[in-house]
Amino acid sequence: MNEAPRAAESQEILRVDGVCVRLSGRTILDRVSFQIAPGEFTGLIGSNGAGKTTLFRVILGLQAASAGRVLFGGPAHPREHARRHRLIGYVPQKFLFDPDVPLRARDLVGLGIDAHRLGVPRPSRSRRALVEEMLHAVDAERFADTRVGKLSGGEQQRVLIAHALIGRPRLLLLDEPLANLDLGSAHEVVALLARIAREQKIAVLISAHEINPLLPVMDRIVYLAAGRAVSGTTEEVVRPDVLSELYGHHVDVLHVHGRVLIVAGAGEDTDLAGHEGVFPRSEVLS
């Protein structure tokens, strides 16, 4: 298999091109295409089961696509695989730290500098300064010397963001970071990520099933439903006609108190798994 051609120079950090994923006879992703420019904040919106995690796995190279390709921009690197790894900082959805593990937040962040390198790192002032800088960027200095396993979920998440950032990625990938947070914390994390994206010119791609916390900061939205995707700005995508076509049946977009409610019309085949707040005659999709 040849190395895939690089995306157009510095115009795209990531291009997903017609990616399909079929597993055990089911189509999980169907011709998904979108691109992300450097420094762009993109939200991958979709309900549970829409295929968000699978798409992330394809982008990260953990899952082979049945068709289509994923291209990366950014600086060249002698080995294609290494380029992908250098480019992306990843924050997983689930992480569980045993409170007995002897590792401070500061140590975990430091691990992010070059965990893929073999050998013992030489402790240096520049490493320490870099760790301090990252801890400051995510506002984690208060608990930098606390054991990772003793931190709250939100604190651990911030440490993981710092861990991902310290490797100087061009694209930050976060898998459902808002899923288990209350609304206040969700807004805090979104504001933090938006600030990082702006100040450090890092593209951010975050997946979520709730669109509203991201509305103020998204440059672009990729809306995923049953494996198919539509991408564009919020104005272009979050519209009844566009979403109706995507879902395959009638969908309304309501604006209520500054929030967006996407509601499926009362219909026979609402084959949409994993939604919150299902109402008897219609469903709130997001």
**Helices 153-165/105-114 angle, 10° precision:** 30
Total residues interacting with other proteins, rule: CB under 8 A: 65
Smaller CB distance to other proteins: residue 92 or 232?
Answer: 92
Considering only residues 116, 122, 255, 257, which one is a binding residue for other proteins as defined by CB under 8 A? 116
Smaller CB distance to other proteins: residue 3 or 235?
Answer: 3
**Measured from the CB of residue 273, what is the shortest distance to other proteins in angstroms?**
21
**Regarding beta strands 41-45 and 203-208, do their DSSP bridges make them parallel or antiparallel, or are they unpaired?**
parallel
Site for other proteins, residues 207 to 246, rule: CB under 8 A: none
Segment near other proteins (CB under 8 A), from 35-43, 104-112, 225-233, 269-277? 104-112
The answer to whether 22 contacts other proteins (rule: CB under 8 A) is yes
SS3 sequence of the chain: CCCCCCCCCCCCCEEEEEEEEEECCEEEEEEEEEEECCCCEEEEECCCCCCHHHHHHHHHCCCCCCEEEEEECCCCCCCHHHHHHHHEEEECCCCCCCCCCCCEHHHHHHHHHHCCCCCCCCCCHHHHHHHHHHHHHCCCHHHCCCEHHHCCHHHHHHHHHHHHHCCCCCEEEECCCCCCCCHHHHHHHHHHHHHHHHHHCCEEEEEECCCHHHCCCCCEEEEEECCEEEEECHHHHCCHHHHHHHHCCCEEEEEECCEEEEEECCCCCCCCCCCCCECCCCEECC
Considering only residues 9, 76, 78, 118, which one is a binding residue for other proteins as defined by CB under 8 A? 118
Smaller CB distance to other proteins: residue 114 or 245?
Answer: 114
Smaller CB distance to other proteins: residue 105 or 262?
Answer: 105
Smaller CB distance to other proteins: residue 8 or 115?
Answer: 115
**Measured from the CB of residue 150, what is the shortest distance to other proteins in angstroms?**
9
Residue 7: name the closest of 100, 92, 71, 67 by CA. Answer: 71
The answer to whether 159 contacts other proteins (rule: CB under 8 A) is no
**Measured from the CB of residue 49, what is the shortest distance to other proteins in angstroms?**
19
Smaller CB distance to other proteins: residue 103 or 284?
Answer: 103
The answer to whether 121 contacts other proteins (rule: CB under 8 A) is yes
CA distance 212 to 269: 26
The answer to whether 132 contacts other proteins (rule: CB under 8 A) is no
Considering only residues 10, 152, 180, 233, which one is a binding residue for other proteins as defined by CB under 8 A? 152
Site for other proteins, residues 37 to 76, rule: CB under 8 A: 58, 60-62, 64-72
Interface residues with other proteins (CB under 8 A)? 1-4, 6, 18, 20, 22-25, 58, 60-62, 64-72, 80-82, 84-85, 88, 90-92, 95, 97-98, 100-104, 107-108, 111, 114-121, 142-143, 145-147, 151-152, 154-155, 160, 163-164, 173
